[in-house]
Amino acid sequence: MSEELNETIDRFSHTPETDKPAVMDEVLEEFGETRLALLLEAMPIDERMLRWHSIPSEEQAAILIEMRGDARNSIIRALSPEQLERLIGQLDAQDLIEIGDSLPQSVVEDALEHMDAEQREYFERSLQYNEEQIGRYVDHNLLMLPAAARVQDADRLLRRPLPPYTDSIYLFDRSGRFQGTVSTSQLFTLPGHIHLSTQIDEDAEPLSGEAELYAAATAVQESGAMALPVVDEQNRLLGRVTLHDAMVLQQSHFENLLMARAGMNEEEDLFAPVLRSSRRRATWLGINLLTAFLASWTIGLFEATLQQVVALAVLMPVVASMGGIAGSQTLTLMIRGLALKQVSRGNLVSLLKKELGIAGVNGLIWALVIAVIASVWFSSPLIGLVIAIAIAVNIVAAAFSGVMVPMVLDHLKIDPALSGSVILTTVTDVVGFFVFLGLGALLLI
């Protein structure tokens, strides 16, 4: 893009009030609904609503679809019944699936009444799949022909305006079951009487509607096609997933991983009300407090030791920090591997050996470095020995935990990105303090 989003935000903030609607029109015309949605999300809620009403009504639905859940909800809650009714009249089945959770049930029912029978059928079929399955979010704008159709039938179809990301025609039989994919690029040189069924790409496999979102997105990107068809259990064509859809799904997936590590989700509004955001974040602050008390309790077991050897108190943060960093490196690698389906029981032992090997090497190197520094600093080789052993043990324990904690959480159907870092921090703090202070009590007193 010719202008980064933060530059757009800066330019908008310095634009005179009377010229701001023109800037929004310019952003919409040059960059489209996605950029304007991001610009709205970057505004405080009061200004967001003010700017929303300056957007042409025929563009509002498309922009609302592009916004994150919380920001979208802030607009929907502020709309009058008349404005909401006008908005839902622009929605198709795919749009309604996307924002249906943000709307009152009565509004969803009204939206369905505005749709024709085909769109209502699309909506009902999408609801058969949960929010983590690709069948819920398929694109219904695609090219289809009966399996008995000929090249001349495809030629007539291709003369019409084509949906974006179209490079294939999908064939179905008399009972509506999917028969195969035909690439449009090969049809232009074929005689019109040739049956399309003889040109099916045998390597083009459809996606199951029950496929997990990220897995489906990855399959589309790896296929080399602009889109892949999606079928139900009876092999009936539900729709397709385009390359654009795949990119959006993958971006959402990685945003979710990033936000989950802080106990948040990708739908969080940048300018959500203070009290609502406080409630959401309070849970993980409370959990973190409990784990912090556990670490403090471990330290309390060695209160007498700390009173006699002040150097241990000074060096404690070094032990915790080194273990925490080593563990977070392994944890991040594991979360990515699990997300990409690259980690399983089959390669877990090999991965664990590799991470323990890295921890052993790094533990030995940094234990020696810190031992020398501590020995010189406090004029005590014994203090250097104590912290060296503690650092080495804690880094190895951190690597072990960084591998096993996300595997156990994944087995329990708990998102490792959401709670893995909290558990890992507890393990490294408790192990590090226990070994460090325990050795200090044995060797220094």
169 backbone dihedrals φ, ψ, rounded to 5°: -115, 135
CB atoms near residue 11 (< 10 Å): 13
Is the distance from CB of 24 to CB of 38 less than 8 angstroms? no
264-291 pLDDT, tens digit per residue, is: 555 566 566 666 666 666 666 677 668 7
Out of 1.10.357.20, 3.40.50.300, 3.40.50.1000, 1.25.40.10, which CATH number does the structure's domain 274-443 have? 1.10.357.20
Q: Which is more confident, 169 or 298? A: 169
Residue pLDDT, tens place only, 372-396 = 999 999 888 999 999 999 999 999 9
CATH topology (fold) of 5-134: MgtE N-terminal fold (1.25.60)
Widest CA span of the chain, in angstroms? 95
Q: What is the pLDDT of residue 265?
A: 58
- Residue 312: what pLDDT? 87
Separation between Cα atoms, residue 43 and residue 234, nearest integer Å: 47
pLDDT higher than threshold 50 for residue 14:
yes
Mean pLDDT of 404-416: 87
- pLDDT on residue 2: 45
**Cβ proximity of 52 and 40 under 8 Å:** yes
Enter the tokens of residue 130: 């949960």
| pLDDT at residue 266, as a whole number | 57
Q: Which residue has the higher pLDDT, 256 or 132?
A: 132
Across the range 415-420, mean pLDDT stands at 77
Q: Where in the chain is the domain with CATH 1.10.357.20?
A: 274-443
**144-243 architecture in CATH?**
Roll (3.10)
State the amino acid at position 393 in one-letter form.
Answer: V
pTM (predicted TM-score): 0.65
Q: What per-residue confidence (pLDDT) applies to 1? A: 40
pLDDT of residue 285: 61
Give the type of residue at 46. D
CB atoms within 10 A of CB 79: 18
d(CA 311, CA 319): 13
Tokens 């699990």 belong to which residue?
Answer: 338
**Count of beta carbons in the 10 Å neighbourhood of residue 422:** 17
What spatial distance separates the first Cα and last Cα of the chain, rounded to whole Å?
Answer: 65
Instruction: From residue 142, give the alpha-carbon distance in Å to each of 133, 187, 238, 300.
Output: 20, 17, 10, 66
Give the Cα separation of 225 and 243 in Å (integer): 8
HEC assignment per residue over the chain = CCCCHHHHHHHHHCCCHHHHHHHHHHHHHHHCHHHHHHHHHCCCHHHHHHHHCCCCHHHHHHHHHHCCHHHHHHHHHHCCHHHHHHHHCCCCHHHHHHHHHHCCHHHHHHHHHHCCHHHHHHHHHHCCCCCCEHHHCCECCCCEEECCCEHHHHHHHHCCCCCCCCCEEEEECCCCEEEEEEEHHHCCCCCCCCEHHHHCCCCCCCEECCCEHHHHHHHHHHHCCCEEEEECCCCEEEEEEEHHHHHHHHHHHHHHHHHHCCCCCCCCCCCCCHHHHHHHHHHHHHHHHHHHHHHHHHHHCCHHHHHHCHHHHHHHHHHHHHHHHHHHHHHHHHHHHHHCCCCCHHHHHHHHHHHHHHHHHHHHHHHHHHHHHHHHHHCCHHHHHHHHHHHHHHHHHHHHHHHHHHHHHHHCCCCHHHHHHHHHHHHHHHHHHHHHHHHHHHHCC
**pLDDT tens, residue by residue, 164-174:** 999 999 999 88
pLDDT tens, residue by residue, 305-362: 777 678 888 888 899 889 888 988 898 888 878 876 778 888 889 899 999 999 999 9
pLDDT digits (tens, 9 = 90+) for 180-198: 999 998 888 889 899 999 9
pLDDT in tens, 26-73: 888 888 888 888 888 888 888 888 888 888 888 888 888 888 888 888
Residues of the chain with CATH 3.10.580.10: 144-243
Q: With contact defined as beta carbons under 8 Å apart, do 246 and 266 qualify?
A: no
Supply the pLDDT for residue 206. 93
Per-residue pLDDT, averaged over 75-95, amounts to 85
Confidence of residue 370 (pLDDT cuts 50, 70, 90): very high
The predicted structure's pLDDT at residue 263: 58
